[in-house]
């Protein structure tokens, strides 16, 4: 099952790194959590395939208590290729993997 999202890119507050993320909606996060509970991995994560623009890659989504939703890490390579910066609104499709 594929999920479509539109989210603003934000940087996780850290003293040592500039990790960029996009948040999934709380509603879809709850749906994914319930539907795929048996596929959950360490750190309350799920393996996913993501398509953003012309880029497709495999990664994991992680539950963030502050957001109350899952968050998608955006690799530097993907951000460079797609011209993404903090504050940009991005649309992406996500599929939870087996």
pLDDT digit string, tens, across residues 78-98: 999 999 999 999 999 999 997
This prediction has a pTM of: 0.91
Q: Are 74 and 93 in contact (CB under 8 A)?
A: no
**18: domain CATH number?**
2.40.30.100
Q: Decide: helix, strand or coil at residue 29.
A: helix
pLDDT at 57: 98
CB atoms within 10 A of CB 57: 14
Residue 75 has pLDDT above 90, yes or no: yes
**Tally of domains within the chain:** 1
Residue 11 has pLDDT above 80, yes or no: yes
Structural domain containing residue 67: 2-96
Angle at 69 between CA 55 and CA 7, to 5 degrees: 40
Gap between the Cα atoms of 82 and 40, Å rounded: 29
pLDDT at 44: 85
Residue range 1-17: mean pLDDT, rounded: 89
DSSP strands (E only) in 1-98: 2-11, 20-23, 45-52, 55-64, 69-73, 89-96
Closest Cα partner for 71 from 18, 29, 34, 13? Answer: 29
- Higher model confidence: residue 18 or residue 9? 9
pLDDT tens string 40-72: 888 889 999 999 999 999 999 999 998 899 999
pLDDT at 1: 84
């Amino acid at each position: 099952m594929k999920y479509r999202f539109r989210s603003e890119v934000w940087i996780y507050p850290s003293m040592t790194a500039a990790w960029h993320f996009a948040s999934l909606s709380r509603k879809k996060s709850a749906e994914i959590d319930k539907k795929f509970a048996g596929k959950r991995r360490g750190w309350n994560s799920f393996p996913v395939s993501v398509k953003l623009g012309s880029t497709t890659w495999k990664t994991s989504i992680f539950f963030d208590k502050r957001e109350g939703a899952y968050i998608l890490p955006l690799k530097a390579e993907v951000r460079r290729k797609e011209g993404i910066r903090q504050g940009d609104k991005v649309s992406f499709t996500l599929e939870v993997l087996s």
